[in-house]
Structure 1
Amino acid sequence: MSFFVPTLKQWGYLDSIHLTLCIVGSRKIDEFADLDYSRQGWEIFAPNLTIYGFDADQEACDRRNAELASQNINWTEKHIPLALWNHCQGACLYVTQHPGCCSLYPPNDVVIDRLSEYSDRHKLISTTQVATTTLDNFFANLAHPIDFIQLDVQGGELNVLLGGKNHIIPDVLAAVVEVNFIELYKHQPLFADVDQYLRNSEFTLFDIGQKWHGLRQGISLMSRQHRGQFVWTDGYYFRDLIRPDQNHHLKTPDRILKLACLADMLSFYDYALELLGYLTKRYGLSDRRYNFADCIIQVLENNPEAVKHGINTLPFVTELRKYTYLT
């Protein structure tokens, strides 16, 4: 749920920006319904919103595109039946018992057979050859840069990132990446590998999502402190475009505003506020398009929980009052 974006939209601050999302592994799974981005509030950016979804499942993409066509949406969204990878030579898709566990890496029986639930979900059913492409290749003539990317491709996240290293990833402002801590798939990159690549690409890990654990096969005993072995989670990564010691090509008012919106949509309200405050102080007096002081103060004053915790008396907010236009 967003905190500042609805008011930014109401006041016209979002009219000049176009947000582009790329969801790799966009198949809808009932137990992970939150992956349906059209139901997370992103439509507030319409009509200046484009969503690209990628999934190797042709039927899933056709079904999703048909659903969108019947809804008369006022943003651009398309789901492409291609597997994104780090090359365009095609690959073997390992089809598993659970459709959400299919991967371009083979299931690692040595590991999954010892974990309850995972052995069934990751049971290999068949294999098939699929076409692959890269982010850089597919988006060679992209009109708007990819601002946000979410990766959920069962161990192949690093490969997808590497496939966009030349043109696409350098423009990405935020990423949500599924990361594994054990080899559910043979030879897959783990969290340390993905994290190192993203840090080297000037992303910062802000938080992780729900932690998913695995219990030993046939053993239900666990403690309150440790719910089994830590298997996977989602990592939330953002750019830091306001560090004074960095001169990044993305360090423009429009990109920082987009970053603030992404932080807000992903529930990092403190970072969103910091970015909006930075824009206000840096550009707000000379360009009202980036003066968010009145907007910020209205949002905070209309939120009982924020008022209860005295947020209006914080030095950061007090300083913003110097930039207000409303009396």
Structure 2
Amino acid sequence: MKHPRPSLTELLDFKTRINVVDIGANPHGGSALPPYQGMLERGLVHLVGFEPNPEALALLEAEKSVDETYLPHAVFDGSVQTLNLCHASGMTSLFEPNEAVLNGFHGFSEWGKVIGREEIETVRLDDVSEIEELDFLKIDIQGAELEVFRNGTEKLAGCLVIQTEVEFLEMYRGQPLFADVDQFLRGLGFMLHRFEDLTSRAVKPLVVNNDPYAGVGQVLWADAIYIRDFTRFAELGAGKLLKLALILHDVYGSFDLALRALLVRDAMLGTDLGKLYLEKLSNG
């Protein structure tokens, strides 16, 4: 696959690997490739993924590389939970779909219809021994993300970037919303960097251009990107700063923050990667 930009490892000629955890790694859970796909293809990632769906797990296992490990666990709080199986598998959740909200949008009342329930055991992120180090977390589990964070603070202590789905309306009964997730992650020393794939839909009965997926103004969900607070980069170690710069450059094209991370690292070690990076950026 041709990548849109050279990797930071190519620009600055260094070697490092990013420890990625993907909670909700279903390859058919959405249309987009995972955000770390480019780094994975370049051999820059060690991935631990979680996928409790047996069919999806089998697909992952059949196609994985030597850099990928997949586990059949549902990550939550370590208790036994009821999984609500929905007509659209992408809406299956530990939380009950909220008909009052879903009925306000085209298609969701059908997609969110519960067709079965099953009891499942969950694990705490902090209890997963296969995760020795965590640099980059991607998580999308339909409203259950905050409980994973609450039960993963030890692993998250070393994490640099989190890409998490957040919702702005209570599509599932009692689910935490963006404000709850944001407040908790800020308490762990993260800051909101930006939203990806901000999704809106038209409220019934309006249909835009005969497209039930078209939005007008009401936002429903997005992927929120959190990074370590850039005013506190100096608290990170030199190795972590290099990894942070790599993620910011390769995954998000956030060249300004990648540069800042490299400059802070240079101040620690007396190196000049930041200067070299700025020259590369300036020369196109």
TM interval, short-chain normalised = 0.7 to 0.9
Per the alignment, residue 137 of structure 1 pairs with: 127
- Residue type at the aligned position of 2:155: I
1:22-61 CA distance string (max 9 Å, x none): 11111022742322744x34332x2x53111112202211
Q: 1:160 aligns with which of 148, 156, 160?
A: 148
| Distance in 1 between residues matched to 2:104 and 2:239, nearest whole Å | 49
Q: Does 1:230 align with 2:219?
A: yes
Larger radius of gyration: 1
Q: Mark the CA change 1:220 to 1:54 in structure 2 (over 3 Å): closer, same or farther.
A: same
From 49, 71, 74, the equivalent of 1:80 is 71
| 1:268-308: CA deviation from partner (whole Å, max 9, x where unpaired) | 121112212332344234xxxx635335423531x1xxxxx
Q: What is the TM-score when the length of structure 2 is the normalising length?
A: 0.88
Cα offset for 1:190? 0.3
Describe the shift of the 1:221–1:33 C-alpha distance in structure 2 as closer, same or farther (beyond 3 A). Answer: closer
Partner of 1:35: 34
Which amino acid is the alignment partner of residue 75 of structure 2?
Answer: L
In structure 1, how many angstroms separate the alpha carbons of the residues matched to 2:258 and 2:4? 10
Residue 212 (structure 2) aligns with? none
Matches within 5 A, 1:1-327: 3=5, 6-9=7-10, 11-14=12-15, 17-29=16-28, 31-35=30-34, 37-38=36-37, 40-44=38-42, 46=43, 49-68=45-64, 73=65, 75-86=66-77, 88-139=78-129, 142-143=131-132, 145-165=133-153, 167-220=154-207, 227-240=216-229, 243=232, 248=235, 251-264=236-249, 265-285=251-271, 291-301=273-283, 303=284
Between the aligned partners of 1:175 and 1:30, the Cα distance in structure 2 is: 18
**Deviation at 1:241?**
5.5
Unaligned runs of 5+ in 1: 304-327
Partners of 1:132 and 1:30 in 2: CA distance: 20
Gap runs ≥5 in structure 2: 210-214
Return closer, same or farther for 1:163/1:181 CA change in 2, 3 Å cut-off.
Answer: same
Over 3 Å counting, the alpha-carbon distance change for 1:266 and 1:61 in structure 2 is same
**What's the CA shift string for 1:104-141, capped at 9, x where partnerless?**
001111110121122222121111111210111113x6
- Structure 2 distance, partners of 1:36, 1:206, is 15
- SS state of the match for residue 58, structure 2? helix
Matches of 1:133 and 1:151, distance apart in 2: 15
Mapped to 2, the partners of 1:242 and 1:199 lie a distance apart of 13
Higher strand share: 2
Relative to structure 1, is the Cα distance of residues 296 and 43 closer, same or farther in structure 2, using a 3 angstrom cutoff?
A: farther
Say whether the 8 Å CA contact 1:21–1:149 is kept in structure 2: yes
Quote the Cα distance in structure 2 between the aligned partners of 1:263 and 1:294: 17
Q: Share of identical aligned residues, percent?
A: 26
Instruction: Provide the C-alpha distance between the structure 2 equivalents of 1:30 and 1:129, rounded to a whole number of angstroms.
Output: 21
Q: Distance in 1 between matches of 2:51 and 2:28?
A: 12
Structure 2 residue identity aligned to 1:268: S
Tell me how far apart the structure 2 counterparts of residues 63 and 49 of structure 1 sit (CA, whole Å).
19
Q: Secondary structure at the match of 2:106?
A: coil
Secondary structure of 1:116's counterpart equals coil
Task: Please state how far the C-alpha of 1:267 moved relative to its aligned partner.
Answer: 2.0
Q: Is this contact kept in 2: 1:23–1:150, CA < 8 A?
A: yes
RMSD of aligned C-alpha atoms? 2.4
Query: 2: CA distance between counterparts of 1:299 and 1:154?
Result: 38
Q: How many pairs does the alignment contain?
A: 276
Q: 2:83 is paired with a residue of what secondary structure? A: strand
| Alpha-carbon distance between aligned partners in 2 of 1:292 and 1:213, rounded to the nearest angstrom | 39
C-alpha distance in structure 2 between counterparts of 1:9 and 1:184, whole Å = 43
Residue 154 of structure 1 aligns to a residue in which SS?
A: coil
Shift of 1:219: 1.9
How many Å separate the matches in 2 of 1:292 and 1:35? 28
SS of the residue 2:31 aligns to: helix
- Residue 324 of structure 1 is matched in structure 2 by none
Letter paired with 1:253: A
Shift of the 243–30 alpha-carbon distance from structure 1 to 2, 3 Å rule, reads: closer
Cα contact 1:175–1:236 (8 A) shared by 2: yes
